[in-house]
A = this chain, B = another copy of it.
């Protein structure tokens, strides 16, 4: 697939590096020249990733990945042109300063706002409930990390499910886009555990399953 990645920090860089190594065509949409960090991600991608302007990256993409800091996400989406029909994977987390909560109304979510900014696009919330280090390697000794996702467009969710599986995640369809509120809260829980406890960043959620009780 042609994947355009908007925001080339650690999350966007890691996702782009790994998908391009998996034979997708990845284009980073950035302003200006690639910085040293992005150059490293592109160098280790097997040469299949390149960088261009955000609007160019989105124009050629079937899947647009938003991996911007939340405060820059509105402007970034506005600068991408018409996204209708495209799959938009929203990896952002609308955390308040100090990680005291979510910086969106209680009956909304970052993903709901993204959907309102990109009418006609097919928004899936995903890749926001764990760190870039886990995206680099979701495999643990006792199983794969879960990748929870949600959205209202079922075929778009199937694409995201496959993209998560390719990275080694155990994907979990968490339901409609309204569930994004809970997934963003789960992202906040992950960050709180990763930086606020002595567990560190090498942690991930998994969903255990067993057969129904008869």
Contact = CB atoms under 8 A, between A and B. Distances in A.
Interface of A: 100-102, 105-107, 133, 140-143, 145, 148, 172-175, 178-179, 181-183, 185-186, 188-189, 192-193, 196-197, 199-213
Contacts of A105: 106
B185 A182 contact: yes
B205 A209 contact: no
Given A143-B143, A211-B202, A181 B101 contact: yes
Dominant SS at the A interface?
mixed
A130 to B, nearest CB: 10
A205 B74 CA distance: 32
A205 B207 contact: yes
Contacts of A100: 107, 178
Given A133-B213, A141-B210, A172 B200 contact: no
A142 B208 contact: yes
A143 B143 CA distance: 9
Give how many copies assemble into the complex: 2
A169 B101 CA distance: 27
Nearest to A191: B182
A168 to B, nearest CB: 12
A188 B86 CA distance: 30
A174 B192 contact: yes
6 contacts: A100-B107, A106-B106, A148-B189, A202-B209, A205-B205, A205-B207
Contacts of A186: 182, 185-186, 189
Contacts of A102: 106
Contacts of A206: 143, 205-208
B203 A213 contact: no
A211 to B, nearest CB: 7
B208 A193 contact: no
Contact of A208 (B182, B203, B211): B203
A189 to B, nearest CB: 4
